[in-house]
């Protein structure tokens, strides 16, 4: 019984980490998401956003932006630590 619990305690975090990595790759490679979610954005990110990029949501540890092509690469250049696709079917709403 404890062996099964140990396997679950190892498997669940690995699956979640893999899911985040896949989403980050989709955003970085230019997936067709209507918006991008920046987790743990730097304090000055909003002030440095390029023209044509709109902030469509904001949370305590995230920022959702929409706009221009190659946006994920621009956000990484501006210091965003993790950019994920947002606004797709099945994405969690941001309050």
Q: What is the pLDDT of residue 87?
A: 72
Residue-wise pLDDT for 34-54, tens only, equals 889 999 999 999 999 988 999
Please tell me the pTM assigned to this model: 0.76
CATH value of 2-86 in 1.10.357, 3.40.190, 3.30.70, 3.30.360 = 3.30.70
HEC-encoded secondary structure of the chain: CHHHHHHHHHHHHHHHHHHHHHHHHHHHCCCCCCEEEEECCCCCHHHHCCCCEEEEEECCCEEEEEECCCHHHHHHHCCCCEEEEECCCCCCCCC
Residue 95 has pLDDT above 70, yes or no: no
Query: In the chain, where are the structural domains located?
Result: 2-86
Q: What is the pLDDT of residue 44?
A: 93
Instruction: Output the six-digit token pair for 58.
Output: 């904001």
């Amino acid at each position: 019984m404890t062996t099964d619990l140990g396997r679950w305690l190892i498997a669940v975090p690995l699956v979640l980490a893999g899911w985040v990595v896949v989403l980050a790759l989709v955003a970085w490679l230019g997936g067709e998401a209507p918006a991008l979610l920046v987790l743990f954005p730097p304090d000055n990110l909003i002030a440095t956003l390029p023209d044509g990029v709109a902030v469509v949501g904001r949370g305590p540890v995230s920022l959702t932006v929409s706009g221009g092509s190659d946006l994920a690469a621009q956000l990484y250049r501006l210091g965003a630590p993790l950019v994920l696709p947002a606004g797709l079917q099945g994405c969690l709403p941001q309050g």
